[in-house]
Structure 1
Amino acid sequence: MAKIRRLGVLTSGGDCAGLNAVIRAVTYRAVRHYGWKVFGIIDGTMGLMERPLRYRELDLDMFSGNMLREGGTFLGTVNKGDPFNYPMPDGSTQDRSLDFVDGFNKLALDAVVVIGGDGSMRILSQLCERGGIGMVGVPKTIDNDVHGTDFAVGFTTAVNVVTESLDRLQPTAASHHRVMILEVMGRDAGHIAVNAGISGGADVILIPELPYRLESIAEKIDQVIREGRNHALVVVAEGVKTEDGLNAQVAHSHGQTRYGGIGHYLSDRISKMTELETRETILGHVQRGGTPSTRDRLLASAFGVHAVDMVAKGRLGRMVAWQERGVTDVPLSEVCIGPRSLEPDGTLINVARGLGIYIGESP
């Protein structure tokens, strides 16, 4: 492998807490240990696709203050506009993948560290393969649905936010004798819902991986009331379908459709079936922001250092991962196979059942 002198780093996909900590670790390791120049690409793939190129050289002084503690990504990110099918103003699509490759070459980069989720890993690995670009991936997503790693950057912070929200909903639920429904993010995986639901004392947890029955939810809530409690907590992942198999979605700007509304659907039906006052809260993007948790800062730091060392050793086309209490790496070919869902008989699902939580029908 040619000697590395100039390293690019970019964030792609949805934002989350801990991204700046990864960029900080990449810069510290590359500059201090290897003497490389590091260039942060602005707004993900767009920074290399647009002309003039949009980037900034990263130095140690930029990270001497609060960067480790700040959520989001100071480089910016995008989660739309597939370079292979890029939407044009006239409504058509165009393959702009070579614009990305040309931008990489114009900046004279030797390799790139991509911080992204499963979708970003798939697209960026295809882009880099097309241009013969050396890439190392760093997994980040609040959904924790990236294959090959036990944890992704941003997940534990999001779970902490959801758990704290349940802690805050419980006393108001008890005060008003209500059923409180909390709709959380996660796309097509229930990792956030299960982890936070167990930690936050939920009575019902609904996830995309398991079917459910409204009658079973009502029976569980009735059981809680019979046992002497005057309220109940329900956590539902945004990707959960209605009982008849339809997605709950809402329209956003630019013709985009996103998950949302399953909490309202459940609130209306649970209220009618139990005759209890029911309220729903859609937590939304609150889960993405805020100060990174200790766990996410540690994970981000370990991932960033390991990613740079991988570039130095020529271990490209791979993603950093956390497995068996340590940092390692896996081939991107094992990562880019779609989102990682919960196993129906997995440990945490069995824990939930053991606690008496209704978590859907047994497969």
Structure 2
Amino acid sequence: MRVGLLTGGGDVPGLNAAIRAVVKRGEGEHGHSIIGFRNGWKGVVDGDVMPLTRRDIRNVLPTGGTLLGTARYHPHASDGGLDAALATLEAERIEALICIGGDGTLNAASKVAAAGVKVVGIPKTIDNDVWGTDASIGFDTAVSIATEAIDRIHTTAESHNRVMIVEVMGRHAGWIAVTSGIAGGAELVLAPEEPFDIGRIERFLKHRHRAHASFSIVVVAEGAVPAEGTPMHYETQVGKFGEIVAGAIGERLKVEIEQRTGFDTRVTVLGHTQRGGIPTAADRILASRFGVAAIDAVTAGTSNVMTAIQGEQVVLLPLDEVAGKVKFVPQDLLTVARALA
């Protein structure tokens, strides 16, 4: 069987571990030919192929990024894109396609599956917001990086009596902000799930600095917004592809906090450092499990599904149930972040 493989959307640590698992299991155990597409769905549309063998995946397990390359491109959203993708799959004699990506890539996968292609999805995103799975490839590494950064910023904040704002990724869901904020001992965590009150933040910081501390750490997700009716007007700033402009909410909070409290305030935007570097052991293991499960599903003839981790088990979920949905941070985790302020 000729099996296509692509990585789409933003890169995350652990993608190469998933590619490695698909190739090793697919070629070695099942005798399949694995055909990689460069640069995500764009490579499918353009016919940019890269046959993958065991030789191509040597020593890739600990490396970040993706050896296939990636792009934010969705064929169903471009004129003629879906037809071009289907034509490439037919010309390359692709009998099934494994797509590793986040909500956008998996939504595109569901559209291609609806056109008759056998598709299996693997969830990856540092935002951890893919519905139906407890974790996605890349999240554990991103949280580890963010937590280490907060640990380091603590010493500077305390030494200089500052308020330090740490901005992390998370447009729709605040998984990185909440988990790294708890793990790093942040005083305030601001997530998209709970719009914030700048007046409450002002009162909290003034009380804290007056009563028992001379510094504070504020972790904010890039998609956090003020609550309606509160004395801070802010509209999320986005780029030409709909991505949030890095640093926008962090800088606005810095101005507000300094003006309201008089405290010296600085911003650190972690940005793409959260995506890069060596994947953690947890991400390598999760990616490997997903890769094996995906190629086994293809071999069994299963289609239009996504691998997911639920508890300790890897399961297969219908893509139609997953596509377009967002997994938000649960209330109990948000409560823990508030309780430890």
1:112 is aligned to 97
> Which of the residues 140, 155, 162 maps onto 2:139?
155
Shift of 1:205: 0.4
Name the aligned partner's letter for residue 301 of structure 2.
G
1:300 is aligned to 287
How many angstroms apart in 2 are the aligned matches of 1:95 and 1:338?
A: 26
CA contact (8 A) 2:195 2:226 kept: no
How many angstroms apart in 1 are the aligned matches of 2:282 and 2:326?
A: 22
CA contact (8 A) 1:10 1:113 kept: yes
Name the aligned partner's letter for residue 121 of structure 1.
L
How many angstroms apart in 2 are the aligned matches of 1:306 and 1:84?
A: 27
Please state whether the residue corresponding to 1:69 is helix, strand or coil.
coil
Name the aligned partner's letter for residue 33 of structure 2.
K
How many angstroms apart in 2 are the aligned matches of 1:207 and 1:18?
A: 25
1:258 partnered with 2:252? no
> Which of the residues 53, 64, 80 maps onto 2:58?
64
Shift of 1:123: 1.2
1:201 partnered with 2:185? yes
Shift of 1:49: 1.1
Please state whether the residue corresponding to 1:183 is helix, strand or coil.
strand
1:127 is aligned to 112
2:237 is aligned to 249
Matched residue count: 336
CA contact (8 A) 1:205 1:234 kept: yes
1:312 partnered with 2:299? yes
Q: Deviations over 1:237-257 (max 9, x none)?
A: 0011245564331546xx765
Name the aligned partner's letter for residue 205 of structure 1.
V
1:89 is aligned to none
1:286 is aligned to 273
CA contact (8 A) 1:41 1:47 kept: yes
Gaps of 5+ in 2: none
- Which structure 2 residues correspond to residues 49-60 of structure 1 after superposition, within 5 A? 49-50=45-46, 53-60=47-54
Shift of 1:68: 0.5
How many angstroms apart in 2 are the aligned matches of 1:340 and 1:128?
A: 22
How many angstroms apart in 2 are the aligned matches of 1:251 and 1:321?
A: 31
Please state whether the residue corresponding to 2:194 is helix, strand or coil.
coil
2:15 is aligned to 19
Name the aligned partner's letter for residue 58 of structure 2.
S
Shift of 1:222: 2.2
Please state whether the residue corresponding to 2:317 is helix, strand or coil.
strand
Gaps of 5+ in 1: 87-93, 358-363
2:319 is aligned to 332
CA contact (8 A) 1:242 1:248 kept: no
Q: Deviations over 1:136-158 (max 9, x none)?
A: 00000000000110000000111
Q: Deviations over 1:269-320 (max 9, x none)?
A: 1111111100011111111101001110010000000111111112211000
State the TM-score, normalized to the length of structure 2.
0.95
Please state whether the residue corresponding to 2:99 is helix, strand or coil.
strand
Percent identity reads 41
Name the aligned partner's letter for residue 254 of structure 2.
S
How many angstroms apart in 1 are the aligned matches of 2:113 and 2:88?
A: 12
Please state whether the residue corresponding to 1:279 is helix, strand or coil.
strand
CA contact (8 A) 1:207 1:239 kept: yes
CA contact (8 A) 1:239 1:247 kept: no
Q: Do the aligned partners of residues 84 and 296 (structure 1) sit closer, same or farther apart at CA in structure 2, a change above 3 Å counting? A: same
How many angstroms apart in 1 are the aligned matches of 2:37 and 2:113?
A: 15
CA contact (8 A) 1:148 1:321 kept: yes
Please state whether the residue corresponding to 2:308 is helix, strand or coil.
strand
The Cα RMSD (Å) is 1.5
> Which of the residues 28, 33, 49 maps onto 1:32?
28
Please state whether the residue corresponding to 2:61 is helix, strand or coil.
helix
1:98 is aligned to 83
Shift of 1:20: 0.6
